[in-house]
């Protein structure tokens, strides 16, 4: 009987194992199919780096789920895949971008830039002109032009669809018909909606093409304006004969004679460490960068100091059993931490408005002075520290309250017996033991404020601007907001330079963190001796 039971258990386990294996293979097959689809899409878009990353992730998942020795990693596989895709790849991409000139006007590889330039058409001087109406296919929604002109008293009517041969219409009506073949005439709002597309579209095919010249006329034929010669790496403008030669050092096709503008768009090229040297050698960039770097350090340090000081003060007060309603007071003080930060920041932005703000108007009514909290360089920095204090002190109060509860009461009793005063007990016992528990959190707070983009962008947007700066920069910008404006600013994106600053920020934060961890070890030694 026992043997039969054991056999049934073995069969059940074998069946469960077989079912699990089948599910594993199905999951791997579905994942591989999805990965292949993504890789194909990325390769089609010429995004080889991202295709490679997805391929590496797919191979890693196959190894983890198919090799028995890697079984423990199965539960970590989704996390490892996301970390690779969302953390490791962006880091590698940022580093590689920092060595290029990528930015506005240099977003594409050279082949893509050439294709965008050579697709343009122009109207030669001897082109025929027509008056035009626009029609749309009832089947696939493509457009066509109904063209008319008179040559030596003879009326000529032409039908020019997209991507198809131009057709000469015999016995055409006096006006454009409501329908022709499978096309209908567009009038009124439909015509207006189509204008945005047809103004840049090319109708016809091959050498016989038609394009819109202005609101009333169309021209035939259109010709390729730019022609690329791969042997000389030049582009010739057939409208005026000007030749543009590729300058691979800066990623532009420049006039061979040195007169005129470069062709747009340019292309991305490797520029080595020039983005990093710009940080040091370019005085126009170095000035704002040094100012912003100093303010970033001050902002991070003052934010941690003020929030910790106020949070610790409130925690010490509420730690006294003699305070009535401590729980209610503590709950009320947590409210700024419970409200979404962006809402609080926008409320403070309204309160500190120079003309309409409640705070500024109250100060003006009492003292007769209207303080430009958001328009003056120094007052704007004060406003940022003030708002960050409001947002950050509840967190510090909570962690300090928990840490204070963990300090043994007999330590204070022994100190009181030895005659230590309250101030001495705070400096010699409370603060050292508190630092042991919350020291790493203070370091994390410093790191967070070092990159506190939301506060700067929502409250001041980095303003007031630094006058004379060749790039978008403000007195209240910190490094991360300065980098953001370089990458996405209104004066033009400079992804390469912004990526270089991002790498510098990473090393600065890493060095600051390691330096502060040295103090953490000191606090631990002090705590052990207390």
Beta bridge partners of 474: 465
Write down the pLDDT at residue 521.
Answer: 59
CB 269, CB 108: distance < 8 Å: no
Write down the pLDDT at residue 304.
Answer: 95
Name the nearest CA neighbour of 203 among 165, 148, 150, 149: 165
Which domain, by its residues, includes 172? 122-224
pLDDT above 90 for 299: yes
CATH of the domain at 476: 1.10.3720.10
| Residue 475 included in any domain | yes
| Residue 349 included in any domain | no
- pLDDT band of 10, cuts 50, 70, 90: very low
Which residues lie below 8 Å from residue 78, measured CB to CB, with a gap of 6+? none
CB 455, CB 345: distance < 8 Å: yes
* Lowest-confidence pick of 283-292, 427-436, 510-519: 510-519
| Residue 115 included in any domain | no
Rounded to whole angstroms, how far apart are CA atoms 103 and 227?
Answer: 25
| Structure-token pair, residue 457 | 């962008």
CB 515, CB 301: distance < 8 Å: no
Q: Are 138 and 57 contained in the same domain?
A: no
**With the C-alpha atoms ordered 286, 288, 294, 297, is the resulting torsion angle positive or negative?**
negative
Q: Are 508 and 403 contained in the same domain?
A: yes
Rounded to whole angstroms, how far apart are CA atoms 161 and 143?
Answer: 6
Rg (CA), the chain: 35
CATH of the domain at 8: 1.20.58
Mean pLDDT of all residues in 460-488: 87
Rounded to whole angstroms, how far apart are CA atoms 478 and 380?
Answer: 13
Q: Could you tell me where the beta strands, DSSP code E, fall in 51-153?
A: 121-122, 128-137, 143-151
pLDDT above 50 for 146: yes
Write down the pLDDT at residue 425.
Answer: 84
Q: Are 316 and 437 contained in the same domain?
A: yes
Q: Are 317 and 447 contained in the same domain?
A: yes
The structure's pTM equals 0.72
pLDDT digits (tens, 9 = 90+) for 26-54: 888 888 899 999 999 888 877 888 899 99
**Which of the 8 DSSP states describes residue 108?**
B
| Residue 131 included in any domain | yes
pLDDT above 60 for 523: no
pLDDT above 50 for 434: yes
* Listed residues 182, 199, 224: the one ending a domain: 224
Burial of 3 (0-12, 13-18, 19+ CB in 10 A): exposed
Give SS3 for 177.
coil
| Residue 431 included in any domain | yes
* Listed residues 179, 197, 224: the one ending a domain: 224
Q: Are 126 and 91 contained in the same domain?
A: no
DSSP, residue by residue, 392-431:
HHHHHHHHHHHHHHHS-HHHHHHHHHTT--HHHHIIIIIH
Q: Structural domain tally of the chain?
A: 3
Q: Are 93 and 126 contained in the same domain?
A: no
- pLDDT band of 16, cuts 50, 70, 90: low
Unique residue bearing structure tokens 């300065």:
482
CB 265, CB 105: distance < 8 Å: yes
Q: Are 206 and 316 contained in the same domain?
A: no
pLDDT averaged over every residue in the chain: 86
Q: Are 180 and 214 contained in the same domain?
A: yes
* Listed residues 177, 206, 224: the one ending a domain: 224
Give SS3 for 146.
strand
| Structure-token pair, residue 462 | 């980095």
Rounded to whole angstroms, how far apart are CA atoms 375 and 90?
Answer: 36
Q: Are 441 and 490 contained in the same domain?
A: yes
Write down the pLDDT at residue 491.
Answer: 63
| Residue 250 included in any domain | no
Rounded to whole angstroms, how far apart are CA atoms 341 and 458?
Answer: 10
Rounded to whole angstroms, how far apart are CA atoms 444 and 509?
Answer: 10
Pairing status of strand 223-224 against strand 226-229: unpaired
Write down the pLDDT at residue 14.
Answer: 52
| Residue 414 included in any domain | yes
Q: Are 311 and 205 contained in the same domain?
A: no
**Residues constituting the chain:** 530
Q: Are 330 and 219 contained in the same domain?
A: no
- pLDDT band of 95, cuts 50, 70, 90: very high
CB 383, CB 459: distance < 8 Å: yes
Phi, psi of 211 (to 5 degrees): -140, 155
Q: Are 8 and 150 contained in the same domain?
A: no
- pLDDT band of 171, cuts 50, 70, 90: confident
| Residue 399 included in any domain | yes
Write down the pLDDT at residue 421.
Answer: 85
């Amino acid at each position: 009987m026992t043997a039969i039971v054991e056999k049934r258990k073995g069969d059940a386990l074998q069946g469960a194992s077989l079912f699990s294996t089948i599910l594993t293979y199905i999951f791997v097959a579905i994942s591989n199919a999805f990965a292949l689809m993504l890789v194909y899409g990325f390769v089609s878009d010429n995004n080889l780096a991202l295709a490679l990353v997805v391929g590496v992730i797919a191979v890693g998942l196959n190894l983890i789920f198919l090799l028995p020795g890697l079984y423990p990693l199965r539960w970590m596989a989704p996390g490892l895949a996301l970390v690779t895709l969302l953390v490791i790849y962006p880091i590698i991409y940022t580093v590689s971008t920092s060595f290029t000139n990528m930015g506005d006007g240099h977003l594409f590889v050279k082949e893509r830039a050439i294709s965008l330039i050579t697709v343009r058409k122009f109207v030669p001087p001897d082109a025929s002109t027509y008056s035009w109406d626009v029609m749309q296919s009832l089947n696939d929604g493509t457009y066509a032009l109904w063209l008319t002109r008179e040559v030596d008293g003879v009326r000529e009517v032409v039908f020019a669809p997209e991507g198809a041969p131009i057709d000469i219409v015999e016995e055409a009506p006096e006006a454009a018909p409501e329908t022709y073949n499978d096309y209908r005439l567009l009038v009124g709002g439909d015509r207006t909606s189509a204008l945005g597309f047809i103004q840049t579209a090319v109708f016809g095919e091959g050498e016989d093409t038609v394009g819109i010249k202005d609101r009333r006329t169309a021209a035939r034929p259109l010709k390729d304006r730019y022609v690329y010669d791969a042997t000389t790496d030049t582009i010739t403008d057939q409208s005026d004969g000007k030749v543009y030669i590729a300058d691979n050092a800066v990623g532009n096709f420049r006039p061979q004679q040195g007169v005129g503008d470069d062709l747009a768009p340019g292309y991305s090229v490797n520029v080595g460490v020039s983005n990093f040297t710009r940080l040091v050698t370019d005085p126009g960039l170095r000035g704002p960068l040094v100012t912003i770097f100093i303010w970033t350090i001050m902002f991070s340090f003052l934010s941690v100091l003020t929030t910790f000081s106020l949070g610790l003060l409130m925690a010490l007060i509420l730690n006294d059993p003699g305070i009535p309603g401590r729980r209610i007071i503590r709950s009320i003080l947590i409210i700024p931490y419970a409200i979404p930060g962006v809402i609080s920041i926008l409320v403070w932005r309204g309160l500190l408005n120079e003309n309409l703000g409640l705070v500024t108007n109250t100060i003006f009514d009492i003292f007769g002075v209207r303080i430009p909290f958001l328009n003056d360089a120094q007052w704007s920095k004060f406003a940022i520290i003030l708002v960050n204090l409001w947002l950050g002190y509840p967190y510090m109060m909570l962690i300090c309250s928990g840490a204070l509860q963990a300090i043994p009461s007999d330590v204070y009793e022994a100190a009181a017996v030895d005659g230590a005063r309250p101030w001495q007990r705070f400096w010699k016992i409370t603060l050292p033991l508190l630092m042991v528990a919350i020291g790493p959190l203070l370091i994390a707070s410093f790191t967070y404020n070092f990159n506190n983009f939301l506060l700067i962008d929502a409250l001041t947007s980095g303003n007031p601007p630094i006058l004379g700066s060749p790039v978008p920069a403000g007195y209240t910008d910190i490094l991360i907001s300065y980098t953001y404006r370089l990458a996405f600013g209104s004066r033009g994106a400079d992804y390469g330079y912004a990526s270089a600053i991002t790498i510098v920020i990473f090393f600065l934060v890493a060095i600051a963190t390691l330096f502060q961890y040295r103090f953490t070890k000191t606090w631990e030694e002090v705590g052990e001796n207390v």
